[in-house]
Amino acid sequence: MIPDWETERRRMVEEQLSKRGIRDERVLSAMNAIPREDFVVPEARLAAYFDEPVPIGCGQTISQPYMTALMAQSLELAGTETVLEVGAGCGYHAAVLGNLAARVISVEIIPALAELARRNLARAGLDHNVTVICGDGSLGYPGLAPYDAISVEAGAPEIPSALLAQLNDPGRLVIPVGERGEHELRVVWKRRGQIEHRVETLCRFVPLRFPRR
Ligand code: SAH
């Protein structure tokens, strides 16, 4: 039986997001509107609203809905920003950011996933302000810098310096930092030339690749 996706989505927003403290109404309504089931691979469709990461092919996963919401909320987007995303994956998180900001540039290193993200965003009609670029996002995307916000969706041992350099002042960046499989989600802000951060939560992400090292 095909699930009633709207009901599944509403339940996810209530039980996994609102009840766990996601308060940004814009994040809640973006995630109530975007059809997550159309972004995951067909084999994983029935798991689209599970409270866990879901495979998207090429050994990668789409984050648990709560993690996407927490990361998006931590950027405190008002709707006017240009955002850089690193790790488009299937394009779902990019769609959420596109709903919350003026423009999103998303860099994905695996060509097949960059293509999947583009296709998913276009099919959902959410590609008007989201551009997916295939490349190494650990270097950022200097051509359109600076970015008011940067969302890194793969874990790194440290914050890539190119990303800090491409962050606007003021600007905010969110990134899982740590060793393989054990990360702290850091929210970083740049203000009057100073960099500060806080740790939002502990988490587990797929690794950010550094092919140019
Ligand atoms: N948020 C995504 C899933 C991210 S999974 C979604 O909504 O589907 C992490 C992604 O980061 C993977 O697709 C992986 O290929 C990508 N990635 C890893 N290293 C990268 C790099 N250096 N540059 C760009 N993308 C990278």
- 63 in active site: yes
Q: Which atom of ligand 1 is nearest to the CA of 117?
A: 8
Over 90: is that where the pLDDT of 113 sits? yes
Q: Evaluate: CB of 36 within 6 angstroms of ligand 1.
A: no
Residue 82 lies in a domain: yes
**1: pLDDT confidence band, cut at 50, 70 and 90?**
confident
pLDDT at 40 exceeding the cut of 70: yes
* Residue range(s) defining the domain that contains residue 14: 5-203
Distance (Å, whole) CA 105 – CA 101: 11
Residue 125: its pLDDT value, please? 96
Q: Establish whether residue 176 lines the binding site of ligand 1, counting it when its CB lies within 6 angstroms of any ligand atom.
A: no
Give the pLDDT band of residue 212 (cuts 50, 70, 90). Answer: confident
Average pLDDT over residues 53-68: 96
* Choice among 18, 29, 63, 74 that is catalytic: 63
> Does the CB atom of residue 137 touch ligand 1 within 6 A?
yes
| pLDDT (tens digit per residue) in 88-105 | 999 999 999 999 999 999
Contact by Cβ (8 Å): 91, 116: yes
Domain assignment of residue 180, yes or no: yes
Q: What share of the chain in percent tops pLDDT 70?
A: 100
Spatial neighbors of 55 by CB under 8 A, at least 6 apart, are: 41, 43, 44, 61
Q: Distance between CA 15 and CA 71 in Å, rounded? A: 17
Q: Is 125 inside a domain boundary? A: yes
Under a CB-based contact definition with an 8 Å cutoff, are residues 96 and 27 in contact?
yes
- In a domain? residue 212: no
Domain count within the chain? 1
Answer with the residue of higher pLDDT: 87 or 2: 87
Instruction: Band the pLDDT of 53: cuts 50, 70, 90.
Output: very high
127-161 residue pLDDT tens: 999 999 999 999 999 999 999 999 999 999 999 99
What pLDDT, on a 0 to 100 scale, did the predictor assign at position 213?
A: 65
* Residue 56 in contact with ligand 1 by CB distance below 6 A: yes
Q: Give 64's DSSP letter.
A: P
C-alpha distances in Å from residue 195, one per residue of 14, 32, 66, 79, 129: 34, 33, 26, 23, 28
| Protein residue with least CA distance to atom 18, ligand 1 | 208
pTM here is 0.98
For residue 192, the domain's CATH number is 3.40.50.150
